[in-house]
Amino acid sequence: MSINAKIAELTNKLESTTIERRRDFHRHAEAGWTEFRTASIVADQLTKLGYKVQVGDEVVDSENMMGVPASSELSNQASRAIEQGANPEWVNKMEGGKTGVMGIMEFNKPGPTIALRFDLDANDANEAETNEHRPYSEKFNSINKGAMHACGHDGHTAVGLAVAEIIAELKGELRGTIKFIFQPAEEGVRGAKAMVAKGIVDDVDYLLGMHFGFQLKKTGQIACNVTGFLATSKYDATFTGVPAHAGAAPEVGRNALLAAAAAVLNLHAIPRHSEGTSRINVGTMQAGSGRNVIAPKAVIKLETRGGSSTINKFMSDEAYRIINSAATMHDVKVEITEMGGAAGCSNSPELADDLAKVAEKLGIFNEIVPECDFGASEDCSYFMERVQEKGGQAAYTLIGAGLAAGHHDSCFDFDENALAMAVRFVSTAATDLLLR
Amino acid sequence: MSINAKIAELTNKLESTTIERRRDFHRHAEAGWTEFRTASIVADQLTKLGYKVQVGDEVVDSENMMGVPASSELSNQASRAIEQGANPEWVNKMEGGKTGVMGIMEFNKPGPTIALRFDLDANDANEAETNEHRPYSEKFNSINKGAMHACGHDGHTAVGLAVAEIIAELKGELRGTIKFIFQPAEEGVRGAKAMVAKGIVDDVDYLLGMHFGFQLKKTGQIACNVTGFLATSKYDATFTGVPAHAGAAPEVGRNALLAAAAAVLNLHAIPRHSEGTSRINVGTMQAGSGRNVIAPKAVIKLETRGGSSTINKFMSDEAYRIINSAATMHDVKVEITEMGGAAGCSNSPELADDLAKVAEKLGIFNEIVPECDFGASEDCSYFMERVQEKGGQAAYTLIGAGLAAGHHDSCFDFDENALAMAVRFVSTAATDLLLR
Amino acid sequence: MSINAKIAELTNKLESTTIERRRDFHRHAEAGWTEFRTASIVADQLTKLGYKVQVGDEVVDSENMMGVPASSELSNQASRAIEQGANPEWVNKMEGGKTGVMGIMEFNKPGPTIALRFDLDANDANEAETNEHRPYSEKFNSINKGAMHACGHDGHTAVGLAVAEIIAELKGELRGTIKFIFQPAEEGVRGAKAMVAKGIVDDVDYLLGMHFGFQLKKTGQIACNVTGFLATSKYDATFTGVPAHAGAAPEVGRNALLAAAAAVLNLHAIPRHSEGTSRINVGTMQAGSGRNVIAPKAVIKLETRGGSSTINKFMSDEAYRIINSAATMHDVKVEITEMGGAAGCSNSPELADDLAKVAEKLGIFNEIVPECDFGASEDCSYFMERVQEKGGQAAYTLIGAGLAAGHHDSCFDFDENALAMAVRFVSTAATDLLLR
Amino acid sequence: MSINAKIAELTNKLESTTIERRRDFHRHAEAGWTEFRTASIVADQLTKLGYKVQVGDEVVDSENMMGVPASSELSNQASRAIEQGANPEWVNKMEGGKTGVMGIMEFNKPGPTIALRFDLDANDANEAETNEHRPYSEKFNSINKGAMHACGHDGHTAVGLAVAEIIAELKGELRGTIKFIFQPAEEGVRGAKAMVAKGIVDDVDYLLGMHFGFQLKKTGQIACNVTGFLATSKYDATFTGVPAHAGAAPEVGRNALLAAAAAVLNLHAIPRHSEGTSRINVGTMQAGSGRNVIAPKAVIKLETRGGSSTINKFMSDEAYRIINSAATMHDVKVEITEMGGAAGCSNSPELADDLAKVAEKLGIFNEIVPECDFGASEDCSYFMERVQEKGGQAAYTLIGAGLAAGHHDSCFDFDENALAMAVRFVSTAATDLLLR
């Protein structure tokens, strides 16, 4: 039996397990940097399959973690995860929110190093509790308040585990090395940078990422040439002024709200960039302590984007200068914290072509979408950029799936038929590359 | 025995009761429009003393109530008050937060109508729980979370009840009519307008108000000629836009945060007024739903002030136009709600002189401060303005009191020796006026 | 002799005349809507060649003229032109600045209608008077203060006259109809709309426009597939407030400068458009009458652009709303005048291909540049858009020319060797199309 | 004959000369720092009367001159003045615009030092040329384009010369020392600082200043207790950015217009000051080079004011910081130049009382206005502040005069009957002080 036929068979065999796993992850949704339960299940399973497993400090660089919750929140979540069945040994190693996991398998014959990247985290959202929402009516809706898998990462993780099982089954026939990377905190593009900084993909020849849905809203579609990942940076800026009674002594105050408002207007007025897409958004502001008090504090959350990392850097440099000047202008202090980021990039064209051929060969997809302009940000781009910089190739595949509602919606759900399609496609693509 | 000697004696007799009452009110601090317990104790006591008592709809005009809590909060607070000993009969009549109380006594002989105004409410604050804070160490600190008497209104109410008792004792010797007005929701200047709107001071010849502390931080001081009450208006403005993904389709959004930021800058740029003091402050802003979403909502809390009602009207008219235009500018909707207000006014000079003579005559004050520029807002001004408009005279007296910390501070406390001084001064001033 | 050989010969014969004409136009540079001398020379020459000539009201719709100088300026310029040799008969017909000219020739056999469009006007600039500047050292620099041909339109007009002469020579061999359109006021994109509005290209099957230089800075280059003309709108906004003494009565003023400043900031903060390029610029502001006076007047000059007419309309609608709201915000009046505009468009692909073949066939160009993204605005786009809307084809060709300095620079000059190349290319392209 | 009777007689004798001088100065109006003719006539006359005369460097400190015209303008004006009869010797000494003049006379007996200060300059305005305007119909309207005495300084200077003549006549009867100070460039409050900086009033016991009109619009009025001079500072700020094509490469530009607009909004949003009047005005903006160019330059003219020098310093410090931060915010450079200034001050109360008694004694005034709140700025305040700091007394007197139109209006004119009143009052006040 050919290796592809074996993959087809193994995929079938694993389909119900994959659905179960996806539902289990969905029910125990965990937000970025708190995926203690999900990550420890992954680590246990990879260990069982014979992978060399690395977690915590081994794969996550604490200096480059962005948007990490407060330590009290982290320890609450760790306890919650253990109560919900996480293996305390792994949780211990993931201290400080370092919930990244990598499983490595070297095959007996020399060959390329390939990496498959999946994301683990849920969104900060409360899941809909209506009977129209299948996860609720079929009782796998999230039991963790404020966390919900509304972007399909539960499915990605389940696919990753199935592919890991198939590859382990086929290990006698393969060459080279494979790395399964399970990344925390993709939401807010906070997690990839810290794993890349550990150098874990510096030796990788081919890197594959995947995502359900987005522009591909029908099961049976696939897009192998995804381009136009927007580079992005996410910042929080905290302005600190001096309170004063607004009636009795306004001149004594140092107005943080006014500084933030001045920043907002001028940030949105950053010039357009002639070389491509640019974006700026101040999404939220929380400011002030009382109507009759000169506001002593203001916090804005903002993001910049660019059609390339260069354009994003332009936007980000402008934003820094404007925020700092707005603070000086109103004689208040400001602290800017980087909360997330992603690189601008596109699939390696050659690898994109190869993957399209795999998709075609499999015959399970109705529609192979040609070049797909992503037009959004995903921190898989950090992995891709690093691999491409080091001379390797990288590609991100969108796998179509019928959607119950848009991504990040409290009614989000996807067609689980797409799970097996993804397992089969990724397994086949990976083995093809390993056998080069 | 002269009437003044009797007042001195009665004041002495009532001193310890007055301190006890002040501490009881302090312990059961109630924020504006929720003074169900304080007001029902006042109503019970006035009834017992023989006053004709009016509460709720009789003295508070619901159309003119500003900054009223949500009805669920009101009913929670009513239940809480009853648990803490409020007379349910009164609480019933105060439905909807109409916690104003008036006690009226007509004397046998004809004479002027005078009104004494006291305020009932506590601040929205959590009281300090440290041993340095006397209310805590002596166990009369607030048991109601989020409410604290940090401005001395507990003392004002206790003084009012003592004066009411003295006047009742002396009724055989007096002429005319006296009205004791206990006003809710002075904090945020939300309550006076609704009582004035009921016409309860339209027939008043002399109105007296009082406050402990402010510029008079030593027990033994008194200021009878208070001027320069700033007129003020308090507004909440809610901007409603349209959310959109800030990366994928920014042009589809209608940015409420940007509209609010534009409003803030332009509000603070309202021109100075050549005829006197003007003020503007946007004290708080809460805006947006997420970093990567064009903000669909923004709420700002602001206030204007003016050295006169005319100047405040100028500021307020400008503010309305600017807020509405900022909304139009960014194609969002806005709703502006009036949350509080006070008139600009000053003591009637003749009455101020008369009160200074009373203070001097009593010989209990170390220092009679001449003209005192208030420079802040107090909605007693609505009562004063109405009385003055109708041809009467009105005055607000500051009574010195040693302070543990500034007004509205979580460690605020005042020297209780000032209570008896206030009781004696107000009683004497009131009887003097009634006997004219 | 083939028609193409004849064109080559005629081009050679006309080369020195063409250079002379270009220099004569250069020396008598005339800004937009005041090209009385240039246009009357064109009209005289076309008449002499046997064309039916239309000027003034016949080809320019006064309702759609944008950015026209004051009538006193127009009459000064008309007198100046006559002094400099303009035929007064034509100048009379061009009253009100209607300096457009069209020459029409119908051939004996039926065939397509083609139009060739050239622009007449100079820039508002003072020409460099240094020996390094060839027009100065060779004494054909502009004698008209404030007007200078810094964009090569002098060359375009000279090319047009040469082509008109060649076509007239060859008339016996041609079919269909040809229209030579000489457009005023291309600078500031002010003139095309008014000629298009007259319907003069409604019956045109093929329209050709041309420009020297831009991205093609070497003689010998040509680009036949020019795309990405940015749609644009140009506006002047005049804010009118009320002056007041800034010290004595600031509240009485209505501040036009402040309104304009608020407009500027919010205009630059118009959101990016996800469907393509967008631009906004407030290029100038003139405001106020004195340091100590609340500014009674402010004038801003702005422009919007868009990768498509739709995007430009979005920008322009936003700009209108923001400017009007900024006026309302500061209680001043505002008047917005449209000063110029151009459509967004691209060459018709089929015609572009055909022209590239002509260029190749001629063998006089070193480099045929493939698709060239224009990335700027040119009101030839209005002609092109109209022809394409009516089912015809239109194309704009860039013809390379060595440049002494950038376009619009006071030292601008171009390699006159490009003139003959343009004459031969346009003549050949036109005859090819007429013989279809 | 008493000294006061002699003053009355001399005043009468000099009345027609005073009117003639006033008209001569009016006809030859000279703007600030270019009063070469006026100042040299003053210097000639003082010399003739026996005063020791100082001009130029002796009385004007070039470091502290503000808002001085360009040197080419100064030399044009110097030539113009000489043509109009100025003594070239004085003009030579006034090089660089140092047009201040002081005449000193020491009397034989010891006594106090008193100073009288008058201002010389005209406004930057074109005088009305209508028959309703008396200076025009009576042919003494300004022959100097762009300069007009629209604030009565022509009268002040004429009064100063008459008083100097009277004092010289009476010198045998007087004690102490008198200084006549003729100050340039009061308009724009540019001149006093440079004379004060020379120390010329450091030894002065009593300083008197005067002005016709303002709040006193009727001949026969006088106000001796003028208070509430607003401190003020005048600045020009020039922002320098980098131009760029607004369509082709907006991100390359550094936008000076946007920086200036951001400065304007935030300047107007400087908080009110609780201790007294504050003012801010950006009166003019000139920005940009073309509609489609990112503006490389912007100039704003602004002023701050304060009820005291402290408040003005607060406003001015805020303004500096905001302007500098706005430049940094948009990555442009800015240069701030001080163009004028005046101190905040009030008349010395004792001297004001004494002057009121003089006015009463004379019996020539219908109405002696009590405390008059000036509410504007005058740089006589610098002289007054210095004298008061050094322990002396200073007072500024307003002398009523019927006005044809408001100050600074192109139709301004005043009732010349007020001239003699001023001469007699100032002479009497000065002799009274010298005889103390």
Confidence at residue A1, expressed as pLDDT on a 0 to 100 scale: 85
For residue A208, the surrounding DSSP H or E stretch is strand A206-212
DSSP 8-state code for residue B101: E
CA-based nearest distance B40→chain D, Å:
40
Q: Say whether pLDDT at D1 is over 90.
A: no
Subunits touching C (CB < 8 Å, at least 3 pairs)?
A: A, B, D
CA–CA gap between residue C57 and residue B179 (Å, rounded): 86
Assign D140 a pLDDT band (cuts: 50, 70, 90): very high
Which residues on chain D are in Cβ contact (under 8 Å) with C339?
A: 291
Which residue among D248, D314, D321 sits closest to A329, beta carbon to beta carbon?
D321
Question: Is the pLDDT confidence value at B95 over 90?
Answer: yes
D83-96: per-residue pLDDT in tens? 999 999 999 999 99
Q: Which of C301, C310, C302, C305 is nearest to C278 (CA)?
A: C305
Domain D231-342 belongs in CATH node 3.30.70.360: yes
- Evaluate if residue D234 carries a pLDDT over 90: yes
What ranges do the domains of chain D cover? Answer: 3-227+344-434, 231-342
pLDDT in tens, B216-270: 999 999 999 999 999 999 999 999 999 998 998 999 999 999 999 999 999 999 9
List the alpha helices (DSSP H) in A128-236. 134-137, 153-169, 192-196
Q: What is the mean pLDDT of each run of 10 residues along chain C (436 residues)?
A: 95 98 98 98 98 98 96 96 98 98 97 98 94 96 96 98 98 97 97 98 98 95 96 97 92 97 98 96 96 96 96 98 98 97 95 97 95 91 97 98 93 97 98 95
Min Cα separation A251/chain D (Å): 5
Is there a contact between C89 and C82 (Cβ–Cβ < 8 Å)? no
Chain B residues close to A301, C-beta within 8 Å: 288, 290-291
Residue-wise pLDDT for A16-68, tens only, equals: 999 999 999 999 999 999 999 999 999 999 999 999 999 999 999 999 999 99
Mean pLDDT, residues D259-282 taken together: 97
* Residue C248: predicted pLDDT: 86
Give contacts of B269 with chain C, Cβ < 8 Å: 258
User: Distance from CA of residue B296 to its chain's centroid?
Assistant: 35
Q: What digits encode the pLDDT tens for the residues B190-217?
A: 999 999 999 999 999 999 999 999 999 9
Q: Which of A265, A279, A375 is facing C272, going by the closest CB pair? A: A279
Confidence bin at A348 (pLDDT 50/70/90): very high
Interchain contact C406–D (C-beta under 8 A): no
Distance from C-alpha of A285 to C-alpha of B261, rounded to nearest angstrom: 10
Please say whether the beta carbons of A213 and A206 come within 8 A: no
Q: Which residues of B touch A264 (CB under 8 A)?
A: 257-258, 261
Least CB-CB distance to D274: which of A250, A258, A325? Answer: A250
pLDDT greater than 90 at residue D177: yes
CB contact residues (below 8 A), chain B span 360-389, against chain D: 375
Contact D328 A325 (CB under 8 A): yes
Classify the complex by whether its ipTM is higher than 0.95, answering yes or no.
Answer: no
Tell how strand C297-306 and strand C278-287 pair up: antiparallel
Q: B3-229+343-434: what fold?
A: Aminopeptidase (3.40.630)
Could A271 and D248 be called an inter-chain contact, meaning their C-beta atoms sit closer than 8 Å? no
| Residue environment code for A408-430, b if the CB has 16+ CB neighbours within 10 A, otherwise e | bbebbbbbbebbbbbbbbbbbbb
- pLDDT tens for A199-237 read 999 999 999 999 999 999 999 999 999 999 999 999 999
- Reduced to 3 states, what is the DSSP secondary structure of residue A99? coil
Q: How far apart are CA C151 and CA C410, in angstroms?
A: 10
Query: CATH number of the domain at D3-227+344-434, please?
Result: 3.40.630.10
pLDDT tens across A268-284, in order? 999 999 999 999 999 99
Compute the average pLDDT of residues B25-51.
Answer: 98
Name the C residues in 253-292 with CB < 8 Å from any A CB: 265-266, 268-269, 271-272, 274, 277-280
What is the rounded average pLDDT of the residues A385-397? 97
**pLDDT, position A248:** 86
CATH code of C3-229+344-434, in short, is 3.40.630.10
pLDDT digits 0-9 by tens, B401-431: 999 999 999 999 999 999 999 999 999 999 9
With a cut of 90, say whether residue B375 has pLDDT above it. Answer: no
Say whether pLDDT at A421 is over 90. yes
Average of per-residue pLDDT across D164-174: 97
Distances (CA, A) of B75 to B34, B95, D346: 9, 8, 60
Q: Which helix (H) or strand (E) holds D384?
A: helix D380-389
Q: How far is CA C264 from CA A240, B201, C254, C324, in A?
A: 28, 51, 17, 12
Residue partners of B97: CB distance under 8 A and separation at least 6: B33, B34, B65, B68, B69, B74, B184
C365 DSSP assignment: -
User: What is the average pLDDT across D115-126?
Assistant: 96
For residue A301, what are the CA distances in angstroms to A304, B245, B260, B286, D329?
11, 15, 15, 12, 19
Return d(Cα A105, Cα A171) in angstroms, integer: 9
pLDDT band at residue D248 under the 50/70/90 scheme:
confident
Q: What is the percent of chain A with per-residue pLDDT over 90, rounded to a whole number?
A: 96
pLDDT for A333 equals: 98
Rounded Cα distance between C237 and C320, Å, is 9
**Tens-place pLDDT, residues A299-313:** 999 999 999 999 999
Cβ distance B258 to C273 less than 8 Å, yes or no, reads no
Nearest beta carbon to residue D272 from set B265, B266, B279: B279
pTM to 2 decimal places = 0.91
CB contact (8 A) between residue B250 and residue C272: yes
C-beta atoms of D269 and B274 within 8 A: no
Instruction: Please name the helix (run of DSSP H) or strand (run of DSSP E) that holds residue B261, with its range, or none.
Output: helix B256-268
Closest CA to C303 of C331, C356, C339, C353: C339
> Is D395:D425 a contact under the CB 8 Å cutoff?
no
Alpha carbons A393 and A384: distance in angstroms, whole number: 8
- Cα–Cα distance between D325 and B342 in angstroms, integer? 37
Q: Does C188 reach chain D within 8 Å, measured CB to CB?
A: yes
For residue B277, pLDDT over 90 is answered with yes
Under CATH, which architecture does the A3-228+344-434 domain have?
Answer: 3-Layer(aba) Sandwich (3.40)
Among candidates B247, B284, B290 on the partner chain, residue whose Cβ is nearest the Cβ of A279: B247
Compare all CA atoms of chain D with the CA of B375 and give the residue at the minimum distance: D274
